[in-house]
Amino acid sequence: MYLAQAFKVKHDFWRYVIGSIAVIGVNFVAQIPFIIAIVFKDGFSGLSVSDESDLLNILDSNTTLFLILLPFAASLIALYFVVKYLHKQSWRSVTTSRKKIDWKRVFFAFGLWAVVTVILTFIDYYSSPEDYVWNFKFVPFLILFIIAVIFIPLQTSLEEYLFRGYLMQGFGTLFRNKWIPLIMTSLIFGGLHYFNPEVAKLGNTIMIYYIGTGFFLGIMTLMDEGMELALGYHAANNLITALLVTADWTVFRTHSLLRDVSEPVLGFDVFIPVFVIFPTILFIFSRKYKWTNWKDKLFGKVEEPVEEIILGEE
């Protein structure tokens, strides 16, 4: 059982509190280079520091992307040491219930969603070409590609290990059920996206998508007894999007192939991923990996494993 594995290590909940604070602290410290770069570039002259949209436009987009991804890489390293030394837990056991990390699952989820994302993007491009401009420039795109391929998987992995791994296991041992960890990690994950510039542009309704994504990834993790599928999906979602299309109102403003110049309007389409696409992907995974017993895996108890006593041994 994926969540129950945490009972085998140091799982006092105060450790999860301290560990989370440590990871957040490292994240804030790693943001200092971005702040310094902005000060040297602009000096904040005439700039409202609270205006994230302005902050993201001060530096070259590749430099900005690198500097906003750097704290995630640093935080992932911090989380690794928290897991290893504060909880005395292996990285494998916070990743999966299997004997080793199933990289085939990671790559399958990555490939599936990468292909779907490319297809959906170019369908939209050819159906509404007036909404896009060709943005490709070889050298900036090459730099973007290198930064994105290295750092975006670290960013998405940090989010998955923190929410679907570390905190989900921590809440599992605290509440000894599965549905409260699922709800709490999904709400926290979605809530942290409230500060994305997309929310300011599109309104609070977009939070349905972010929180729904948290539930989608959490369900995926609980049903599959591991994070591999969530790791692959999340990496594909952010990486392929960063390389394919950008817009002036998104958190990732990149030298991508396309730039969306349409005026964004949030309508019924916010519900399509949550209520159509996500269930479809879960269905595909459930068929491929033969998921069963949904009720117990999503709403059952998290029980401390009983160690077997072998007769004849002290």
pLDDT in tens, 105-119: 999 999 999 999 999
Domain count, the chain: 1
pTM to 2 decimals? 0.92
- Looking at every residue in the chain, the average pLDDT score rounds to 92
* Whether residue 312 has pLDDT greater than 50: no
Distance CA 124, CA 244 (A): 12
Taking the CA atoms of 228, 229, 231 and 236 in sequence, report the sign of the dihedral they define.
Answer: positive
* Whether residue 64 has pLDDT greater than 90: yes
Residue 31's domain spans which residues?
3-299
* Whether residue 44 has pLDDT greater than 60: no
Mean predicted confidence (pLDDT) in 226-235: 98
Q: Which pLDDT tens digit goes with each residue over 140-172?
A: 999 999 999 999 999 999 999 999 999 999 999
* Whether residue 314 has pLDDT greater than 50: no
* Whether residue 31 has pLDDT greater than 80: yes
Amino acid 55: pLDDT: 64
With b for 16 or more beta-carbon neighbours within 10 A and e for fewer, the 146-166 pattern comes to ebbeebbbbbbbbbbbbbbbb
> What are the start-end ranges of the H helices in 193-227?
197-202, 207-224
User: Has residue 42 been placed in a domain?
Assistant: yes
Strand partners, 134: 258
Q: Which pLDDT tens digit goes with each residue over 184-217?
A: 999 999 999 998 888 888 889 999 999 999 999 9
Q: Which pLDDT tens digit goes with each residue over 275-306?
A: 999 999 999 999 999 999 999 999 999 998 87
Phi and psi angles of residue 86, each rounded to the nearest 5 degrees, phi first: -80, -35
User: Has residue 70 been placed in a domain?
Assistant: yes
Q: Per-residue confidence at 264, pLDDT binned at 50, 70, 90? A: confident
Helix (H) or strand (E) run with residue 92 in it: helix 91-95
User: Has residue 138 been placed in a domain?
Assistant: yes
* Whether residue 227 has pLDDT greater than 60: yes
Q: Give the angle subtended at the CA of 153 by the CAs of 149 and 154, to the nearest 5°.
A: 115
Q: Per-residue confidence at 104, pLDDT binned at 50, 70, 90? A: very high
User: Has residue 313 been placed in a domain?
Assistant: no
User: Has residue 18 been placed in a domain?
Assistant: yes
User: Has residue 305 been placed in a domain?
Assistant: no
Distance CA 162, CA 190 (A): 13
* Whether residue 46 has pLDDT greater than 60: no
